[in-house]
Amino acid sequence: MNLIVAFAVSLKHKLRFEPYTYYEDLSELVEHLDTFARAATEEHTIKPKVGLFKAVGENLGLSFAASNPRKLMKKAQSPLGNLPLEILCYLTAYVDELALNGQLPIPMQQTSAYNQLQALNDVLVGTERVLNTPLPIAYAIAISQITWIYVFLLPFQLFLELDWITIPATVAASYIILGIFFIGHEVENPFGNDVNDLPLDLFCQQIVQDMETIAARPKPRISEWVEHPKNKVLYPHSESGYSVWEQRPESAIRNALRNRPHAGFEKLDEKGIKEAHTV
């Protein structure tokens, strides 16, 4: 389970060009794994610090204050590997061990487990494709130049027709045009730390909560919930529990199943009438 969480967290950091393992939400999950990222972290112990000016500039979205996100990767002095992929290898080895030990005796379970690993690999490949396939630089430069030239020339086009209204009209038009331009720039890499980016931290927290929820209780046995006194097996046709219907003949059960749709329809009809009266 920790490996699944580690895969999600490591993928988040990889998409943000954070190749090491000293991050608070990742270090305890992968410290015991033999990976290139851990070896590189042991050699590269100095954590990058962000200055006040750069932090304020990045929060304000100033392009000249933004640093190169690949800076840590370029300064690496040893191979960084691909941590999510290496974690997938450990997960695959774990599933292999389960299959060999007979803990996954049903072939369909084995197939399902390997299919889920393949799905994780597809997620890794898909997100990397989005991250590493930006707009062509020539296209981006051309769009940027055309946008700014149009915004600068717009007042001269409107002045003869709008007079003093040219000022607010230009501001409004520029806001719309530049907004569309910057939206395209933001969508190009949706995995960062900006407000408009995908909430990867929230996604990872949800995965942690889901894994903890799954592991919180043991595997339920059928007898524990099917034979429970409060299990109304033929509700809404009958309020009787499992123990009552267990003692009845098969013909009575089949007759109840035949009439069950009508009972449900009548209940919905009564509910609709009550809601209509309340309105």
- Residue-range domain boundaries for the chain: 2-133+204-216, 138-184, 223-278
Residue 265 and residue 236: Cα distance in Å, rounded? Answer: 10
Given the structure tokens 């910057």, which residue do they identify? 182
Give the long-range contacts of residues 205-212, CB within 8 A, separation 24 or more: 207/4, 207/5, 207/8, 208/5, 211/1, 211/4, 211/5
For residue 19, the number of C-alpha atoms closer than 13 Å in the C-beta half-sphere is 23
Q: So what's the pLDDT on residue 271? A: 55
Q: What is the pLDDT of residue 139?
A: 76
- Alpha helix ranges (H) inside the chain: 2-15, 27-30, 36-43, 52-60, 71-74, 83-101, 107-131, 137-162, 166-188, 200-216, 222-226, 242-246, 250-278
Tell me, what's the pLDDT at 61? 54
What pLDDT does 11 receive?
94
Query: 48-55 contacts: CB < 8 A, separation 24 or more?
Result: 48/72
Q: How far apart are CA 157 and CA 218, in angstroms?
A: 72
The pLDDT value given to residue 59: 58
At 276 the pLDDT is 43
Q: pLDDT value at position 279?
A: 45
**Cα angle 30, 34, 38; round to 5:** 60
Contacts of 81 (CB under 8 A, 6+ apart): 35, 36, 37, 40
Residues of the chain where predicted confidence (pLDDT) is lower than 70: 44-70, 264-279
Helix/strand/coil for 104: coil
Note the pLDDT of residue 116.
94
